[in-house]
Amino acid sequence: MANSAYGSGINLDAMVVPVQAATVFAAQENSLYLPGVLIPSVEVPAGSASAQVAVMGSVTAASISAEAAPGVDFETLLPSDTKKTIALDLLAARTVLRDIGGIDTNDMGRIMGNAIAAKVDTLVSVQLGSLTAQESLGVDLLTELYKAIGAVRAAGETGPLNCVVSAGAYQGFMEKIGSSAFAGGETQNAAMRSGFIGMIAGTPCYVSAYLNDTNTGLTNTKFAVFSGDALRMAMQGGVNVEVERRAAAVGNDIVASAAFGVDVIDATRGIIVQDAV
């Protein structure tokens, strides 16, 4: 009896032409986070299923204006440290392609790999919902962005920041950038030309379809601003795509997988803006 879960030229006839399969692959969203630029990634060695990330406290520097008494050393301070354990989950996507129909296994493999990327972005969005919440009170989104950046800075963060905007709030950002306030500026020109929000107040802004109410658990999620020390990802190896012969199916197994975990390390170093009012 035929298995309807197996793909072939019978039920995936639109993908028999390799060009069509490549089009499907090109339409997939790439992961914002897997490259490790927005959120640093910790490599978990083989034999372990979790990563321990140190959360270091700060110390206060002293001002020395006079020598201490003979034999007295300058006071030493030990920063407090805690650890956050990030457990790895095995993310996997699998399909079976029969020999009939000549479907390109490599193109299907890339589609499976993009399924892993989408899952990673979803899991990161879930954790972004745990950042310090900021309520939007009907003010335009750029004003809210400036407020969020100020709040993160006030919490002591001096490093670079990133902003991820929900797809639902994208229009609000672009309408503001397209207004007379940005007329003739490089930000407006670049945004209107490329469709990317770009750099605002020194903060790179990206758009994600996965930063939404379902994933964050918030109401009317707008955007998140965070530093590299707000979250950490953990991975064991990278994204793997394997093709294995499956004689019983008269075809090939295609499996994409990744050992991945993500968690909030310091919620004060990030702000997520919602509009629940």
User: What CATH number corresponds to the domain at position 199?
Assistant: 3.90.1690.10
Quick check: is 75 in a domain? no
Of the listed ranges 52-56, 147-151, 190-194, the one predicted with least confidence: 190-194
85, 132, 146, 170, 199 from 230: Cα distances, Å: 14, 10, 18, 23, 20
pLDDT at 19 over 50: no
Q: What integer pLDDT is reported at residue 29 of this predicted model?
A: 52
Are residues 150 and 160 in contact, defined by beta-carbon separation less than 8 angstroms? Answer: no
Q: Of 237 and 260, which is predicted with more confidence?
A: 260
Region for residue 77 given its phi and psi (left: phi exceeds 0; alpha: psi -120 to 50; beta: otherwise): beta
How do residues 210-232 score in pLDDT, each as one tens digit?
999 999 999 999 999 999 989 99
Buried (b) or exposed (e) across 81-102, using 16+ Cβ within 10 A?
eeeeebebeebebebbbbeebe
User: Which of 114-118, 181-185, 196-200, 251-255 bottoms out in mean pLDDT, i.e. has the lowest?
Assistant: 181-185
Give a yes or no: residue 59 inside a domain. no
**Cα separations in angstroms, 187 against 143, 176, 179:** 16, 11, 11
pLDDT-wise least confident of 23-37, 125-139, 168-182: 23-37
- Say whether pLDDT at 261 is over 70: yes
Please report which confidence band the pLDDT of residue 80 belongs to, taking 50, 70 and 90 as the band edges: low
Give yes or no for residue 157 having a pLDDT over 70.
yes
User: 28-42, 60-74, 101-115: which has the minimum mean pLDDT?
Assistant: 60-74
Kindly report which listed range (29-33, 55-59, 101-105, 160-164) carries the lowest average pLDDT score.
55-59
The answer to which of 38-47, 108-117, 256-265 has the lowest mean pLDDT is 108-117
Establish if 33 belongs to a structural domain. yes
**What is the arithmetic mean of pLDDT over 161-183?**
79
**pLDDT score for 226:** 96
- State percent of the chain over pLDDT 90: 35
Q: How far is CA 73 from CA 64, 65, 68, 173, in A?
A: 12, 14, 7, 55
Overall average pLDDT of the 65-71 stretch: 71
Segments forming the whole domain that contains residue 145: 6-54+80-274
Average pLDDT estimate for 90-102: 86
pLDDT of res. 165 = 93
DSSP-H helix ranges across the chain: 18-26, 105-128, 141-154, 170-177, 186-194, 213-216
On whether residue 68 sits in a domain, the answer given is no
What pLDDT shows up at residue 87?
A: 95
Number of independent structural domains in the chain: 1
Q: What percent of the chain has pLDDT over 70?
A: 81
Tell me, what's the pLDDT at 184? 58
Q: Which pLDDT score is estimated for 107?
A: 74
Give me the chain's average pLDDT, please.
81
- Concatenate the DSSP letters of all residues of 79-147 into one string: --EEEEEEE-EEEEEEEEEESTT---HHHHHHHHHHHHHHHHHHHHHHHHTTSEEEE--S--HHHHHHH
The model scores a pTM over 0.85: no
26 lies in some domain: yes
